[in-house]
Amino acid sequence: MTEQDFIPQYYDSSILTEGSYTWKTPSNIALVKYWGKKDPQIPENTSISFTLNNCHTITSMEFIKRRSESDHISDQGETLKQVQRDEMNFEIYFEGEKKEAFKPKIASFFERIKRYAPYLNDYNIVINSKNSFPHSSGIASSASGMSALALCIMSLEKEFNVSMTDDYFYKKASFLARLGSGSACRSIKGEIVVWGKHELIAGSSDLYGVEFADEVHESFKNYQDTILLVDTGEKQVSSTVGHGLMHGHPFAKERFKQAEENISKIKTVLKSGDLKTFVNLVESEALTLHSMMMTSNPYFILMKPNTLKIINKIWEYRATTNSNLCFTLDAGANVHLLFPVIEKENVSKFVEKELAQYCQNNQYICDIVGNGATLL
Ligand code: PMV
């Protein structure tokens, strides 16, 4: 599919004066990382992620039809009339409070998607959003937040096109979510999601995420992710800036090539259930992501001393047990512990005894792979 396929051919917003939809969408954690993009939000390499279950966002979008153009005429005349017609009119509430600070990001998202969702301009919109995880936990909320909003928009679009297929619905939701935040396109549907065109992944695209449809070994069923909250503060360098620093990065070309190779490798591992290779690949990806940050110019470090303490503890634990526990990192200091469900009891004890002390206020979140968004 191309971008053109996501432009609605026809819609009649007069059939719907008001309504509301609520979607619950998960966060995701990348195994092979996306770091580096081209305009408009096209990834430099393919990435693959586990969809989470407990870390999620619930977003509702209420909409009410704007009055007709003639209603906009005011004593300020034509100028105001034009502004009112062209600008999206929306409010955003986060965890019950009106959030003016979130408006610019959402406004630029609406601006980016207006070709693909022109009907939005016919409504006044109120967005209400809340996360299952603490707001300042350092867990990226843009993935679940943008995917929830994209799905609410698609629920509205479906009102104008009742014969829309589920396949189109979810692909376009992922396409729209991507334009809000790249990794958000992997938070729509499926336990394992691939984003970016790759020769070995059938149907894969740079424009949206697709469910990994190949065989997956039993060992990966109910895979666990315990998120150790090492640093719950604001990130010093945003992902947007970090992605930008991959332009002209001395190792960028090799990195993008390595990621494509790692997608091929992980496809084989997901089928065979070779957990030792999985551990090696996932940890290498996490450290490579952070190496790219450290070798950018300007350079930066998002890991904290406790991130490294935890990593060393994991390596010690693996050396003294036959465990397949491994870590991965997002663009931050928190550590995701990935492990098969059969190790749940042992790893829980290890986390409580050895790792919780390195977390802010001993906080961590136990999560598990889930299968995507739900309409509430
Ligand atoms: O979706 P963005 O633009 O916030 O980028 C996130 C990139 C990483 O989380 C660091 C890696 C990934 O693939 O999720």
Q: 330, 334, 335, 336: which to mutate for ligand 1, most atoms within 8 A of CB?
A: 330
Identify whether residues 144 and 227 lie together within a single domain. no
Residue 139 is predicted with a pLDDT of 74
**CA-nearest residue, atom 6 of ligand 1:** 183
Identify whether residues 243 and 329 lie together within a single domain. yes
Identify whether residues 350 and 203 lie together within a single domain. no
Cβ 142 under 6 angstroms from ligand 1:
yes
Angle of helix 142-160 versus helix 103-113 axis, rounded to 10: 40
Position in ligand 1 atom list of the atom nearest CA 47: 13
Residue 178 is predicted with a pLDDT of 98
Identify whether residues 236 and 207 lie together within a single domain. no
Cβ 50 under 6 angstroms from ligand 1:
no
Identify whether residues 208 and 233 lie together within a single domain. no
What CATH number is given to the structural domain containing 13? 3.30.230.10
Cβ 239 under 6 angstroms from ligand 1:
yes
> Which residue, of 192, 212, 232, is where some domain finishes?
212
Phi/psi for 26 (5° steps) reads -90, 165
Cβ 182 under 6 angstroms from ligand 1:
yes
Cβ 33 under 6 angstroms from ligand 1:
yes
Give residue 140's pLDDT band: very low, low, confident or very high (50, 70, 90).
Answer: low
Q: How far is the CA of 52 from the centre of ligand 1 (A)?
A: 15
Q: Please provide the average confidence, as pLDDT, over all residues in the chain.
A: 93
Identify whether residues 275 and 160 lie together within a single domain. no
SS3 content of the chain, % helix, strand, coil (to 5): 45, 25, 35
Identify whether residues 254 and 292 lie together within a single domain. yes
Range of the domain at 282: 221-374
Mean of pLDDT values over 198-212: 98
Question: Measured between alpha carbons, how far is 30 from 285 in angstroms, rounded to an integer?
Answer: 9
> Which residue, of 178, 212, 246, is where some domain finishes?
212
Phi/psi for 317 (5° steps) reads -60, -45
Mean of pLDDT values over 203-221: 98
Mean of pLDDT values over 43-62: 97
Give residue 233's pLDDT band: very low, low, confident or very high (50, 70, 90).
Answer: confident
Residue with token string 């290890």: 350
Length of the chain measured in residues? 376
Q: 34, 45, 139, 287: which to mutate for ligand 1, most atoms within 8 A of CB?
A: 34
Residue 133 is predicted with a pLDDT of 86
Residue 88 is predicted with a pLDDT of 75
Cβ 44 under 6 angstroms from ligand 1:
no
Identify whether residues 327 and 192 lie together within a single domain. no
Give residue 80's pLDDT band: very low, low, confident or very high (50, 70, 90).
Answer: very low
Q: What's at 343, amino acid-wise?
A: E
Identify whether residues 249 and 208 lie together within a single domain. no
CA nearest to 308, candidates 367, 355, 361, 362: 355
> Which residue, of 184, 212, 240, is where some domain finishes?
212
Q: Cβ(194)–Cβ(210) under 8 Å? A: yes
Residue 235 is predicted with a pLDDT of 76
Collapsing DSSP to helix, strand or coil, 180 comes out as helix
Identify whether residues 122 and 200 lie together within a single domain. yes
Single pTM value for the model: 0.94
Output Rg (C-alpha) for the chain, integer angstroms.
Answer: 22
Cβ 109 under 6 angstroms from ligand 1:
no
Position in ligand 1 atom list of the atom nearest CA 182: 1
Question: Measured between alpha carbons, how far is 240 from 33 in angstroms, rounded to an integer?
Answer: 15
Identify whether residues 160 and 305 lie together within a single domain. no
Cβ 194 under 6 angstroms from ligand 1:
no
**CA-nearest residue, atom 9 of ligand 1:** 330
Q: Cβ(53)–Cβ(29) under 8 Å? A: no
Phi/psi for 236 (5° steps) reads -75, -30
Identify whether residues 332 and 257 lie together within a single domain. yes
pLDDT in tens, 169-179: 999 999 999 99
Residue 18 is predicted with a pLDDT of 97
Q: Cβ(189)–Cβ(170) under 8 Å? A: yes
What CATH number is given to the structural domain containing 257? 3.30.70.890
Mean of pLDDT values over 316-340: 97
What's the domain count of the chain?
Answer: 2
Can you spell out the DSSP letters for 52-94?
EEEEEEEEEEEEEEPPPGGGG--TTTHHHHHHHHHS-EEEEEE
Question: Measured between alpha carbons, how far is 49 from 336 in angstroms, rounded to an integer?
Answer: 13
